Amino acid sequence: MFALIDCNNFFVSCERVFRPELENKPVIVLSSNDGCAISRSNEAKLLGIPMGAPLFEIRHLVKAYNAEVLSCNFELYGDISSRIMSILQQQCEKVEVYSVDEAFLEYDDSVDWQTEGERLQKHLMQCVGIPISIGFGVTKTLAKLANLQAKASGVVCYLDASTKYHDALKAITVNKIWGIGAKLSKSLRQQAIYTAYDLMTANAKDIRKEYGIIVERIVHELNGQSCIPLTLIQDPKKSIQITRSFATPVKDMAILKQAVARYGFRLAYKLRENSQKTQTLWVYGRNTKFESSNTVLHQRTIILDEPTNDTATIIQHAQSAVEDFFDPKISYSKIGIMALDLHDATLPQQKSIFTPKANDKKDIDKVMDDLNKRFGLGTVRPLSCGESIDWMNKRDHKTPAYTTNWQNIVQVKAK
């Protein structure tokens, strides 16, 4: 038996943990540069604010109903997500972290799903303060559909392929099924498959012939045959990218070099965190599509002599790429760096005969990582990252990094 745990309105819920006055109030969290709504409280959804709505289009609703508008605080959301997943791994032996706010769990069939679900809801609320929805099913697909029911009803739900749950499957449209996108659901509707029940009762061989093995597996999953096992060990990442849009377009090469140094610093940190090294860097910058009819993309690919996750090396190559492609006539709206051709840093690597012998000084990156983990990322960073960050993406309504920065830690005073 599988369970899918999904945090309700996750970004908004994270903000409410430290600001309880936001409870029962319409709240939206915006994307980078305070552009679009990427998380909405239930109260905001009732106002008709759709997911992804640009702020300028819903400003009248925000003003009319005094909705709280917050900038994204990914430092906070990432930390709370890590805490939730850690708690789940303590509570259940088999856990697959599916996304920042979702996880699949696998239980023995003898477990009382309702009791276990209610226990986990109470435990996570007590430990982290985040409300969750839990759906149980005999397969991962059914657990995902049960979670949809749980979100709508507010209680723990369960689904299997027995006749007892057929009415529930008939009420779920085919586009809501995990793995069925908009284009595929349109094609299925043309075949008179409108609901999860219709797909469950379809002929699996005909479905495979028409749509392939992936959709055939979904049919089997809806019929209670588990075809999608839990992924307990995550596959190594094939690429890592750090990119941001500027608050305003940039024409100054010094600012571009400072930005790419910050992103290179962050990229190197992520590589070491994942025990990986890169042998290929891709650095790019582009203008805004609103500036002219043509989008200009400047890019450089750097093939390194040997795999590395050294901060200084990555920053040096990234800044050289910016110097190489910079055009003073272009207003750059975005710049980014991507690590490709990733290698396992724990395995021996073939050294280049042209690389100078490393000195015996203590690993600067390790010292820097230890300090940043303790006091917050960016506390110690290379000088090339600069001090001024006026160019960074706009987050005018950002709340403090309550859990990752000592300067922002909540203070409680007794009277």
For the chain, the structural domain boundaries read: 8-76, 96-222, 240-385
CATH match for 96-222 among 3.60.20.10, 1.10.3720.10, 1.10.150.20, 3.30.43.10: 1.10.150.20
CA distances to 5, 92, 110, 229 from 106, rounded to whole Å, are: 11, 8, 12, 9
**Range name among 18-27, 226-235, 248-257, 260-269 with the lowest pLDDT average:** 226-235
pLDDT for 249 equals 85
Q: Amino acid identity of 169?
A: L
In eight-state DSSP terms, residue 34 is G
**Range name among 86-90, 143-147, 375-379 with the lowest pLDDT average:** 375-379
Q: What is the mean pLDDT of residues 289-300?
A: 75
Residue 142: which residues within 8 A CB-CB, separation 6 or more? 2, 159, 160, 161, 221, 222, 224
Query: Where would I find the H helices in 288-380?
Result: 311-325, 364-375
> What whole-number distance in Å separates Cα of residue 189 and Cα of residue 368?
56
> What whole-number distance in Å separates Cα of residue 76 and Cα of residue 15?
8
pLDDT for 43 equals 95
> What whole-number distance in Å separates Cα of residue 178 and Cα of residue 157?
17
For residues 12 and 76, the answer to whether their CB atoms sit within 8 Å is: no
For residues 26 and 44, the answer to whether their CB atoms sit within 8 Å is: yes
Q: Does the domain at residues 8-76 carry the CATH identifier 3.20.20.70?
A: no
Which residue is listed with tokens 């190559």? 317
Q: What is the pLDDT of residues 180-225, one digit of tens each?
A: 988 999 999 999 999 999 999 999 999 999 999 999 999 999 999 9
> What whole-number distance in Å separates Cα of residue 244 and Cα of residue 249?
12
Check whether 318 has a pLDDT greater than 90: yes
**For the chain, what percent of residues have pLDDT higher than 90?**
67
pLDDT for 359 equals 52
pTM of the model: 0.80
pLDDT for 389 equals 66
> What whole-number distance in Å separates Cα of residue 302 and Cα of residue 212?
38
Check whether 395 has a pLDDT greater than 80: no
In terms of pLDDT, which residue wins out, 10 or 397?
10
Q: What is the pLDDT of residues 15-50, one digit of tens each?
A: 999 999 999 999 999 988 888 999 999 999 999 999
Q: Which CATH class is domain 240-385?
A: alpha beta
pLDDT for 358 equals 56
